[in-house]
């Protein structure tokens, strides 16, 4: 099974947008740092090197290894200036074990699980194989750090477009989303589309992408709930060190001005909270 991420399909402008976006979100990714164990730190799916630099700067005595399946992206990462000379980069595939058993102290996977799933025909077998390889590479007491999207529940909700032009974006999303069919209905004088919260989450995670739209609509961000992430790690002999989910403040502020989520109580619509955007799951090898 071969990981075939379409990061390599970025246009020049799309690649610049992607790299800038990764740099802009570094403040959020710093939340992983307290869970890192020093030594050999492997970042799987290093992208343009934003988190790689964060690791190099904060763990100068460690060996930082970044791998990515995309030749285009790893070339960009190789051009970045790093704080220390402890960074090693190469093209590699998490579905093929990259290191010997018991040789890595920390594995960092930031926004990678949803890509493994999405670019392997939405097949959970790819996730299982990736986890198996990662756990084999870890030393006893080594850690896997996951930061990724998170699946909400499946309760019904409605979308209210504060910016009316976003209705057409939603209709385009429902047509273009590749992982599954988006089902929605129009009720109550066709004012608010009704759909389930998992589909609403996927729309909320993508509607503001323009340059990389064709790539983003191929990706399902919410693969697992927090509980499902934990179960996945535990069946692979990792104990849970941290498991939480939250809504990034930047996204919350953006949504407030553009899209509301509603539920129907009797004959009235009332606002409800947005779903968590991000999960941080940390497992330690037993």
What are the tens digits of pLDDT across the range 173-232? Answer: 999 999 999 999 987 666 899 999 999 999 999 999 998 999 999 999 999 999 999 999
Q: Do the domain assignments include residue 226? A: yes
Residue pair 60/35 in contact by the 8 Å Cβ criterion: no
Tokens representing residue 200 in the block: 């609403």
The total of structural domains in the chain comes to: 2
Q: Where are the alpha helices (DSSP H) in 25-123?
A: 26-29, 50-58, 71-79, 113-118
Helix (H, G, I), strand (E, B) or coil at 185: strand
Task: Please tell me the predicted confidence (pLDDT) of residue 14.
Answer: 47
Same domain, 124 and 177: no
Q: Are residues 119 and 189 in the same domain?
A: no
**Mean pLDDT, the chain, whole residue set:** 91
Give the largest Cα separation in the chain, rounded. Answer: 63
Tokens of 286: 């037993």
Domain coverage including residue 118: 6-150+222-247+279-285
Token pair, residue 94, equals: 């998490």
User: Does the residue 58 lie in any domain?
Assistant: yes
The answer on 90 and 230 residing in a single domain is: yes
Residue 4 reports pLDDT greater than 50: no
User: 131 and 17 share a domain?
Assistant: yes
Verify that 117 and 175 share a domain, yes or no: no
């Amino acid at each position: 099974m071969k990981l075939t991420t379409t990061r390599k399909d970025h246009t020049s402008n799309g690649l610049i947008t992607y790299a800038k976006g990764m740099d802009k979100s570094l403040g959020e990714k710093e939340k992983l740092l307290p869970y890192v164990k020093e030594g050999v730190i492997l970042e799987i799916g290093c992208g343009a090197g934003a988190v790689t630099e964060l690791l190099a700067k904060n763990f100068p005595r460690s060996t930082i290894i970044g791998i990515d399946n995309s030749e285009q992206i790893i070339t960009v990462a190789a051009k970045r200036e790093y704080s220390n000379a402890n960074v090693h980069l190469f093209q590699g595939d998490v579905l093929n074990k990259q290191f010997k058993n018991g040789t890595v102290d920390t594995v960092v996977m930031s926004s990678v699980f949803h890509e493994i799933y999405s670019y392997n025909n939405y097949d959970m077998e790819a996730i299982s194989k990736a986890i198996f390889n990662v756990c084999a590479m870890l030393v006893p007491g080594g850690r896997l750090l996951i930061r990724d999207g998170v699946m909400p529940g499946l309760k019904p909700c409605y979308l209210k477009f504060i910016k009316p032009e976003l209705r057409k974006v939603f209709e385009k999303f429902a047509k273009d989303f590749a992982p599954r069919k988006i089902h929605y209905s129009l009720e109550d004088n066709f004012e608010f589309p009704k759909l389930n919260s998992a589909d609403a989450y996927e729309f909320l995670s993508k509607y503001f992408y323009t340059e990389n739209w064709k790539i983003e609509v191929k990706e399902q961000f919410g693969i697992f709930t927090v509980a499902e992430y934990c179960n996945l790690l535990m069946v692979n002999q990792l104990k849970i060190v941290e498991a939480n989910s939250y809504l990034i403040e930047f996204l919350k502020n953006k949504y407030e001005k553009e899209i509301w989520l509603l539920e129907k109580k009797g004959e009235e619509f009332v606002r409800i909270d947005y779903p968590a955007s991000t999960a941080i799951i940390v497992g330690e090898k037993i």
